[in-house]
């Protein structure tokens, strides 16, 4: 039995089709795993969780009347933003930190962590999306993440980045809206690439044809409650107009043929 519930939820307003996901919301470790052999300082770093993003997600969800699902254990226990067959599902080394508690985990232990924490989180996401579809609507998914201001001594200049692959229904207009704010540097598929096979959005959004985007906010900007409130308010202003766009009302599968992007609508 897990001593930490595998996920946290916010119930959205009746009829809401907006779903916020926060894969790396927590730096908690189940009591049975102790401290994974790491000092407390490592759990305050980005290797353990997405600093500040739980606060931003909860504030935005409540203000928008959106549904939200958030992870409850550290990504060092098991990473919800990885497929079950991903070799980095349980990290043994992360940004220079050796994780002694993960050094000798075998396949059975990985599957145990998946069963207790990873799979229930994803099952809950699927259930929420299914309920929206069953109600006759198309879910709109925003995945909430944060990134470290420096990577191996290299400064990252962006305040916020949006990650996406083929489906630009949310990403492109949100990029335009963020850039129109005039006071922030916005990255398009920065600081990461939006095409990650097996990740949360690939599984629940791309694979099902739901409009989606992954948001990355720089961690130093949301390390305290004031910053979290400021960035939540920004998205509370910018997201609602996107939900009125006609192209977000349909299930549409995107792909490429001979290098040319195409879309195939599967719902009216």
Looking at residue 63, its pLDDT comes to 98
Q: What pLDDT band is residue 3 in, cutting at 50, 70 and 90?
A: confident
Taking a C-beta distance cutoff of 8 angstroms, is the pair 125, 204 a contact?
Answer: yes
DSSP H or E run through 237: helix 225-243
User: What does the block give as tokens for 195?
Assistant: 């095409």
Mean predicted confidence (pLDDT) in 92-115:
91
pLDDT tens column, 5-28: 999 999 999 999 999 999 999 999
Find the mean pLDDT for residues 171-179: 97
Return the higher-pLDDT residue of 98 and 75. 75
Q: How far apart are CA 134 and CA 89, in angstroms?
A: 31
- Mean pLDDT score of the chain: 93
* pLDDT > 80? residue 198: no
Is the dihedral angle over the CA atoms 80, 85, 87, 90 positive or is it negative? positive
Encode pLDDT of 127-165 as tens digits: 999 999 999 999 999 999 999 998 777 889 999 999 998
Average pLDDT over residues 236-257: 93
149 closest CA partner among 141, 160, 139, 140: 160
Domains defined along the chain, listed by start: 7-265 (3.40.630.40)
pLDDT value, residue 6: 92
8-state DSSP, 11: P
Of the candidates 122, 114, 109, the one whose C-alpha atom is nearest the C-alpha of residue 23 is: 122
**What residue has token string 């226990």?**
77
Helix (H), strand (E), coil (C) string for 118-167: HHHHHHHHHHHHHHHHHCCCCCEEEEEEEECCEECCEECCCCEEEECCCC
């Amino acid at each position: 039995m897990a001593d930490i519930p595998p996920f946290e939820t916010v119930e959205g307003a009746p009829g809401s089709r907006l779903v916020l996901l926060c894969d790396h919301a927590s730096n908690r470790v189940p009591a049975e795993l102790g401290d994974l052999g790491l000092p407390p300082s490592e759990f305050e770093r980005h290797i353990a969780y997405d600093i500040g993003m739980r606060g931003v997600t909860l504030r935005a969800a409540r203000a928008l009347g959106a549904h939200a699902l958030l992870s409850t254990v550290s990504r060092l226990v098991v990473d919800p933003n990885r497929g079950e067959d991903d070799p980095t599902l349980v990290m043994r080394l992360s940004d220079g930190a050796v994780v002694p508690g993960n050094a000798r985990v075998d396949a059975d232990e990985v599957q145990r962590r998946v069963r207790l924490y990873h799979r229930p989180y994803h099952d809950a996401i699927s259930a929420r999306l299914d309920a929206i579809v069953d109600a006759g609507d198309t879910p709109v998914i925003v995945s909430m993440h944060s990134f470290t201001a420096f990577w191996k001594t290299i400064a990252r200049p962006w305040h916020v980045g949006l990650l996406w692959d083929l489906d630009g229904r949310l990403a492109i207009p949100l990029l335009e809206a963020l850039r129109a704010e005039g006071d922030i540097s916005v990255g398009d598929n920065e600081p990461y690439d939006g095409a990650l096979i097996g990740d949360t959005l690939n599984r629940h959004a791309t694979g099902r044809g739901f409009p989606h985007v992954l948001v990355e906010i720089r961690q130093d900007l949301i390390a305290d409650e004031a910053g979290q409130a400021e960035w939540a308010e920004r998205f509370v202003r910018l997201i609602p107009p996107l939900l009125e766009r006609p192209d977000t009302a349909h299930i549409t599968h995107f792909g490429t043929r001979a290098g040319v992007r195409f879309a195939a609508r599967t719902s009216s």
